[in-house]
Structure 1
Amino acid sequence: MSDDLVFYTHPMSRGRIVRWMLEEVGAPYRTEIVGYGPTMKQAAYRAINPLAKVPALTHRGITVTETAAICAYLADAFPEVGLAPAPDSPERGAYYRWLFFAAGPVEAAVTNKALGVEVSEERRRMVGYGSMAEVLDALEGAVSGRDYLAGGRFTAADLYLGAHLMWGMQFGGIERRPAYEAYVARLADRPAAVRAREIDDRLIAETPHG
């Protein structure tokens, strides 16, 4: 365990994505389970994340919230692991593009679908993703004809987008397409992904859900 990296999470949350990222990084970290309800809303945790959400990360006095931001931060904080293209690499643009496409349009479109929010055609300019169909088509183009999103190797962008695809297809928020399934099949069996799932699945049985 390490107090250099402290991971605040709940095993039934988006923190599962950060867990996978931490396992890919391989640096020692300490996990703090934050219970939903009053625990997450206490002043002590709001000092870390004022929105009273998980996940969050502290690293040597630096606090990072928002799942995509945590993944991007960890990739840059541990460059020796190779989870991001070098800052001067031409692949850096694709890396940023798809990492934040997942954090923005994909997240918003899938959430609106789950909430039953329908955006009329004349108002699509007002939302960052346009329409669900356009998001899905863009995703299909991104993952087709290549193994990974940036530079021919696995990066934090693949981890973050892949996690959204896995979760979305499992629970019906994203329709299954052959290109998506082929893409996530390359990711799901990574040793770090397997370890992360095992850790959080075990914690689900041990952690109060309230």
Structure 2
Amino acid sequence: MAGIEFYTNPMSRSQIIRWMLEEVGEPYEEHILTYGPEMKSDAYLAINPMGKVPAIRHDGKVVTECAAICAYLAEAFPEKGLAPKPEERADYYRWMFFAAGPVEQAITANSMGWVPEGPQKEGTVGFGSYERTVNAFETAFDGKDFAAGDRFTAADVYVGSQIIWGLQFGTLPKKPGFEAYAARLTDRPAYLKAKARDGELIAAMQAAEAN
């Protein structure tokens, strides 16, 4: 059995972790879960009480939440060079968790039509406003090619996924900084390998449903 177990559904944020696993390059065992009873089963709830994917199990320990899994895998396999160097840590943690916090909240609120009205309500929510969050997010790439500096790290898997999906589905505007950054990521061999595997799984699921 592989040292990493990966609990996933290809039509989910699990695609982020598939990409991260391919960047790490270690063998892993995938467990494909369907939405509904299987994902809410007692067996899986014992792994993730939220009853959602993705999750990984490594050396007997479970890690959930995409940003946490990316950070964990980078540290678990330091020889892969995906964890931050000392001088990269500030931007690495800042932008990974900015993407996981304010950006995720702002995109969700905007998609749902939830708009904080006035300074007081903006101060109550963690992201302030969608526009302010988006503008702040674009500054992540001022003067550098990647989230933590001039090289690719695990932060780019999470931050990059947010931006690639945001541009694809229209939840983020097509700002020049976002588009240039996404273009630097989507031709990476690990990204392409992950997309191909999830594409195969999605096609198989859709074919099964059609029959």
Normalising to structure 2: TM-score of the pair? 0.95
CA contact 1:85–1:151 (8 Å) conserved in 2: no
Q: Deviations over 1:83-140 (max 9, x none)?
A: 1113xx1211111100000000011100111111111122011111111111111111
* 2:114 aligned residue: 117
User: What percent identity do the matched residue pairs reach?
Assistant: 54
* 2:129 aligned residue: 131
* 2:83 aligned residue: 84
2 CA distance for matches of 1:90 and 1:171? 34
Secondary structure at the aligned position of 1:58 is classed as strand
* 2:191 aligned residue: 193
Secondary structure at the aligned position of 1:124 is classed as helix
Instruction: Give, in angstroms, the shift of residue 207 of structure 1.
Output: 2.8
2 CA distance for matches of 1:45 and 1:116? 33
Matches within 5 A, 1:13-52: 13-52=12-51
2 CA distance for matches of 1:93 and 1:142? 12
Secondary structure at the aligned position of 1:31 is classed as strand
Task: Tell me which of the two structures has the higher relative contact order, counting C-alpha pairs closer than 8 angstroms and 6 or more residues apart.
Answer: 1
* 2:91 aligned residue: 94
* 2:155 aligned residue: 157
* 1:171 aligned residue: 169
Contiguous gaps of at least 5 residues in structure 2 = none
Instruction: Give, in angstroms, the shift of residue 24 of structure 1.
Output: 0.1
1 CA distance for matches of 2:149 and 2:178? 19
Please identify runs of 4+ aligned residues in structure 1 that moved more than 3 A: none
CA contact 2:147–2:159 (8 Å) conserved in 1: no
Question: What is the total number of aligned residue pairs between the two structures?
Answer: 207
2 CA distance for matches of 1:28 and 1:205? 23
Contiguous gaps of at least 5 residues in structure 1 = none
Instruction: Give, in angstroms, the shift of residue 154 of structure 1.
Output: 0.4
* 2:54 aligned residue: 55
1 CA distance for matches of 2:117 and 2:48? 34
Normalising to structure 1: TM-score of the pair? 0.95
Secondary structure at the aligned position of 1:40 is classed as coil
